[in-house]
Amino acid sequence: MPGMVSTTQPTQQSFNPYTENGGTILAIAGADFSVIAGDTRQSEGYSIQTRYAPKVFRLTDKAVLAVNGFAADGNMFVKKVRQRLEWYRHAHAKDMPIRAIARLIQTMLYARRFFPYYVYNILGGIEEDGAFVSHLTYAIQSADWPPLTYRLTHAILLLSTSVNWFKQVTKVALLLIPLGTGAVYSFDPVGSYEREACRAAGAAQSLVQPFLDNQIYFKNQTPAPGTSFPKHLPLSTVLPLVIDSFTSATERHIEVGDGLEIYVVLAKGSTSLQGLQSIRGIQELTATSEGERVFIIRRDLKKD
């Protein structure tokens, strides 16, 4: 009626286009390899939508991308990244290096910062970041000697020595071969990223990351007198750490479980290959044994 004051409070209507689909991903960089892993459970709340939803995707022979968060956004983002990499491959007749892929992902995420992809990305693979081995072939001619040919392999730092050393050198041929190193890049949903030795993301991040900090970064540990911690752990040590991380996370978190997919990216000429060949159920994804190689290892996790 006229003159009456309404006592009802205004009601706000809202729409949330995102949801959290659980799961966990992690990546660890080694001296000449990277390991990227993720579980396969996709859930919402207390409901398991599917027991096989991969979260780790091979991009190139040098790069693997793990995505976690809103599953629909993650699948679409991987599709768009692969499309951009295919354009690059057609334009340049080679694969994009992992450092450039990290910058590409950063720009793609930041371009959507006002309506972002609700995904946390971890990029792992092999980085050609300045380490080289040179194969140096030269011939020395002298009045006293017949022409001799020497072949040397040494660090490129030796090439910075004075060229006067080669006074009698008549032919010099250099072949510079890049040495790949493991690299891991972690991203937030709007594109901030950094290169790290290890990173975990997802539902069980708070359980897995402290474990990695202790085992990979050696946090809260004191080395034995006269010793120091290694800069990189061998692959034979990293793989059990990854499996143990997901096994323990599955025991403590309902959104992690069902299956585990571990991708291993090896640099060209990696010494870690020998230990891989004896692992049960390993499968190689690369078509050739030359250059970088990608393997996948699958394990079962608890399904309850």
Segment 202-222, tens digit of pLDDT: 999 999 999 999 999 999 999
Max mean pLDDT range (6-15, 159-168, 245-254): 245-254
Whether the pLDDT of residue 100 is over 70: the answer is: yes
Domains of the chain by start residue, with CATH:
24-133+179-301 (3.60.20.10)
pTM: 0.82
Least confident of 91-95, 167-171, 201-205: 167-171
Whether the pLDDT of residue 160 is over 70: the answer is: no
Q: Give the pLDDT confidence score for residue 171 in this predicted structure.
A: 42
First-to-last C-alpha distance (Å) of the chain = 59
24 carries an active-site annotation: yes
Distances (CA, A) of 64 to 68, 173, 290, 294: 14, 35, 18, 9
Of 69, 124, 155, 79, the closest CA to residue 292 belongs to 124
**Residues contacting residue 159 through CB under 8 Å, at least 6 positions apart:** 134, 136, 174
Q: Per-residue pLDDT averaged across 106-133, rounded?
A: 89
Q: Per-residue pLDDT averaged across 248-257, rounded?
A: 96
AA letter at 100? A
Catalytic annotation, pick one of 7, 8, 11, 24: 24
Q: At what angle do helices 71-92 and 98-111 cross, to 10 degrees?
A: 130
| pLDDT band (50, 70, 90) for residue 5 | low
Q: Give the pLDDT confidence score for residue 131 in this predicted structure.
A: 52
Distances (CA, A) of 78 to 13, 256, 284: 32, 21, 21
Q: Give the pLDDT confidence score for residue 152 in this predicted structure.
A: 37
What is the rounded average pLDDT for all residues in the chain? Answer: 86
Whether the pLDDT of residue 259 is over 70: the answer is: yes
**Residues contacting residue 142 through CB under 8 Å, at least 6 positions apart:** 168
